[in-house]
């Protein structure tokens, strides 16, 4: 009976460990994206291939418009709340007036379990064809990586509007993201699933905000898995000894 109890406990532990996974993969905006304030754009997302599927694990999530550095992300306004990835895979939002007009903005997705995912950093300009202002900061704080960033804000009196887009098939999730390039913003884009800073050269990928934070979360999750796995093995071994 003691051995059976240990086996049951171990199985529960391993089930908990295997359940630690993120599944949301924002697909647009991408690196190099430039939006014009006042125009509508369709945000899209898909599944990153892990379990549970995004249509199961993200049935209640929100999207926030963000700015700031990799470890100090600042929410500027809520884009949408109460979204269900089993019903929609896109959302239409009007780009807000911001200050400065630069590639220092990104979107954060958060579900009801507290899991997060990000787009890359992208630019917003005042009018079509305008060139985004250079990012105020070229490296992350405290001697961090050479990933440009900045702190922006909504222009006074601006209220970004949003509306749900028609449901469409989930888009394929993308591999690890590359940084956005403000210089190539109007001509080239590449897929991404987490926030990254604009870079002076589009050919030089850099670790994104999402990569860095995601690495931290995945590292923590990995430590939990390792610890819980060791616990499960120890419990099983103890079960044999007691049997």
DSSP-assigned letters across all residues of the chain? -HHHHHHHHHHHHHHHHHT----EEEEES-TT-EEETT-EEEEEEEE-S-SS-HHHH-SSEEEEEEEE-SSSEEEEEEEEEEE-TTT-SEEEEEPPPEES-BS-EEEEEEETTS-EEE---BEEESSTTPPPBPPSBSS-TTT--S--B---EEPTT----EEEPPP-PPEEP--S---EESTTTTT-----SS---EES-TTS----HHHHHHHHHHHHHHHHHHHHHHHHHHHHHHHHHH-
pLDDT recorded at residue 13: 33
What integer pLDDT is reported at residue 12 of this predicted model? 35
Residue-level pLDDT at 157: 61
pLDDT given for residue 156 in this prediction: 73
In total, how many domains does the chain have? 1
4 in a structural domain: no
Residue 243 maps to a domain: no
Which pLDDT score is estimated for 80? 98
Whether residue 31 is contained in a domain is answered as yes
pLDDT of residue 23: 87
7 within domain boundaries: no
Residue 50 pLDDT: 87
Per-residue pLDDT tens, the chain, 243 aa: give them: 433 333 333 333 333 333 445 589 999 999 999 999 999 999 999 999 888 899 999 999 999 999 999 899 999 999 999 999 999 999 999 999 999 999 999 999 999 999 999 999 999 999 999 999 999 998 989 888 888 899 999 997 665 544 443 333 333 333 322 345 433 333 333 334 445 443 333 333 333 444 444 444 444 444 444 444 444 444 434 443 444
Residue 9 lies in a domain: no
Q: Does residue 149 lie in a domain region?
A: yes
Question: Is 11 inside any structural domain?
Answer: no
Tell whether 30 is covered by a domain. Answer: yes
Domain that holds residue 168: 22-204
């Amino acid at each position: 009976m003691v051995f059976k109890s240990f086996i049951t406990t171990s199985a529960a532990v391993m089930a908990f460990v295997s359940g630690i996974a993120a599944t949301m993969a924002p697909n647009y905006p991408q690196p190099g994206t430039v939006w014009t304030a006042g125009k509508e754009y369709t945000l899209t997302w898909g599944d990153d291939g892990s379990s549970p599927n995004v249509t199961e694990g993200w049935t209640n999530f929100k999207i926030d418009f963000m700015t700031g550095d990799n470890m100090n992300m600042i929410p500027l306004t809520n884009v949408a709340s109460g979204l269900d990835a089993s019903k929609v895979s896109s959302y239409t939002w009007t780009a807000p007036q911001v200050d400065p007009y630069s590639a220092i903005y990104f979107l954060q997705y958060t579900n009801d379990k507290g899991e997060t995912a990000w787009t890359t950093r992208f630019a917003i300009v005042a009018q079509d064809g305008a060139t985004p202002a250079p990012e105020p900061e070229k490296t992350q704080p405290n001697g961090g990586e050479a990933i440009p960033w900045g702190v922006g804000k909504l222009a006074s009196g601006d209220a970004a509007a949003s509306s749900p887009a028609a449901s469409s098939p989930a888009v394929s999730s993308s591999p690890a993201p590359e940084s956005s390039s403000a210089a190539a913003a109007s001509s080239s884009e590449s897929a991404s699933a987490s926030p990254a800073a604009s870079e002076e050269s589009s050919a030089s990928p850099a670790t994104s905000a999402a990569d860095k934070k995601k690495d931290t979360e995945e590292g923590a999750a990995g430590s939990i898995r390792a610890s819980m796995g060791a616990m499960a093995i120890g419990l099983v071994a103890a079960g044999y000894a007691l049997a």
